[in-house]
Structure 1
Amino acid sequence: MAIQNGRAMNAPRDWLLVPVKAFSQAKTRLAPVLTPVMRALLATAMLEDVLAAATDVCELCDIAIVTNSPDVAWFVAGRCTTVIDDRGAIGTNAAVTIALAELAVREARTVVILPSDIPLIRGRDIAELIAAAKRCGVALAPATYDNGTNGFALKSPTLISPHFGPNSFTRHLAAACAAGINSAKVTNSRLGLDLDDPLRLREFRSMQSDTQSERLLLRFDTRICGEAFENGALASGCARDLHDHEPEIARMLVRDLDAEC
């Protein structure tokens, strides 16, 4: 069942769709440099950055979050988003497929699917994906390093199925080709950088971006550079001021992480 938090639709619209797992389960590949609570808080900050970019183009598209996490639904409430329940789907592709079917019922036009871990994204990047999909049918923004897909736009929500996972960029291209649909490659360094591992996190920190994610990492004081980074060590003050950043979220995450132990 979908819960509508945004404004009512009187005509078909373009949509941005972001699949989001529970914050307490996020970014496990960053375990060498961030604690579980820090990773969960970083997941919320990155989602904030993606939603901020989407808000910049709200005249172009509506925003949907697909999740089965009550905490994610609570976090995005009041942010002009629609929350779609993934009904316990296993994996990103299953969750996105459920959401695309829901958006088809809502007579969505172009749908842009983005991960929640690309904090450098800007509104113009979303607009570029929408325009490319309208022009070609499918638009794909590759991840910079691992042949993944960090932007997947469809002229209509049921055009082709999602193929997220290893080598997803190649598999999305193949799916479009098999369906006889033209595809556009949108190469964009902001879309290309996802914070999936310590190396990408260090690259992101070197950019000193004006993002919620950067401000949070600065407060963690993780020193992701030099010998401390290479050894996977955490700086002694890494959890400083944890509750200063969204204290309600911090308490929520501590509760969830304690429950999993």
Structure 2
Amino acid sequence: MRPAVVIPVKSFTMAKGRLADTLTPRQREDLARTCAETVIRAAAPLPAYVVCSDDDVASWAVSVGAHVVHCTTPGLDVAVAAGRTAIAAEGFDHIIVAHADLPLAESLAHVAREGIVTMVTDRHNDGTNVLSFPLASSFTTAYGPGSLDNHIRAAEACGLAYETIEDASLSLDLDTADDLSELERRRKDNS
């Protein structure tokens, strides 16, 4: 199995819009960049491919050692499809898709399992923060509300076995003020 990590990354200046009532634009930009750097470090030793439409993000990705896949069409599923095509062309046979807003990410390689779909849930057991599947399969992503259930149905429709993984370091994504409070709580608990 030859996995690669695909990380869709929005423009840092536009990211984290749902936190506009809590953080300044500069704070949101810094948070988005810091989280994305954390996720890229967690990808190691696997190669990381950043999918983006923003030239500043592309330059940043190269500066931190990631490959860049340009995708100007909006949408998370479209970005993942672009990343999937790019890594398949490079000879990889398994994809790990990781959101760029996982501030506690430590490792991603353990998510890939030979021949099956694996999903790391968000802390609400609704979303899919990390997703892995074999490239040769007909599996397609289905991000959005209820993506965990969507991905389970997609795996079943393809006849693929699947596994849901609970991983505290990957379960927290930062979308709301409550998520920021949870991050602070976890950091205090670990200090």
TM-score, scaled relative to structure 1: 0.69
Whether the 8 Å CA contact 1:108–1:157 is kept in 2: the answer is: no
Match of 1:99 among 83, 86, 93: 83
Partner of 2:33: 44
Whether the 8 Å CA contact 2:104–2:170 is kept in 1: the answer is: yes
The within-5 A match list for 1:18-167 is 18-55=7-44, 58=45, 61-86=46-71, 88-123=72-107, 126-130=108-112, 133-134=113-114, 136-145=115-124, 147-156=126-135, 158-167=137-146
Computed over aligned residues only, the root mean square deviation of the Cα atoms, in angstroms, reads 1.6
Partner of 1:242: none
In 2, Cα distance between the equivalents of 1:158 and 1:105?
Answer: 15
Tell me if 1:198 matches 2:177.
Answer: yes
Whether the 8 Å CA contact 1:23–1:44 is kept in 2: the answer is: yes
Counterpart residue identity of residue 156, structure 2: C
- Structure 1, unmatched stretches of 5+, are 1-11, 210-261
Using the TM superposition, give the Cα deviation of residue 158 of structure 1 relative to its aligned residue in structure 2, in angstroms.
Answer: 4.8
Compared CA separation, residues 36 and 109, structure 1 to 2 (3 A): same
In 2, Cα distance between the equivalents of 1:107 and 1:147?
Answer: 32
Identity %: 28
Structure number with higher strand proportion = 2
CA deviation vs aligned residue, 1:107-139 (integer Å, no higher than 9, x gap): 21221000000111112xx12201xx21x5110
Match of 1:172 among 126, 148, 151: 151
1:102 is paired with a residue whose SS is helix
Larger Rg: 1
Partner of 1:182: 161
CA deviation vs aligned residue, 1:197-248 (integer Å, no higher than 9, x gap): 0001011012227xxxxxxxxxxxxxxxxxxxxxxxxxxxxxxxxxxxxxxx
In 1, Cα distance between the equivalents of 2:166 and 2:105?
Answer: 13
1:77 is paired with a residue whose SS is helix
Moved over 4 A (4+): none
Whether the 8 Å CA contact 1:13–1:62 is kept in 2: the answer is: no
Counterpart residue identity of residue 67, structure 1: C
The within-5 A match list for 1:200-239 is 200-208=179-187
Compared CA separation, residues 184 and 92, structure 1 to 2 (3 A): same
Using the TM superposition, give the Cα deviation of residue 27 of structure 1 relative to its aligned residue in structure 2, in angstroms.
Answer: 0.5
Compared CA separation, residues 146 and 28, structure 1 to 2 (3 A): farther
In 2, Cα distance between the equivalents of 1:157 and 1:149?
Answer: 21
Structure number with higher helix proportion = 1
Whether the 8 Å CA contact 1:118–1:195 is kept in 2: the answer is: yes
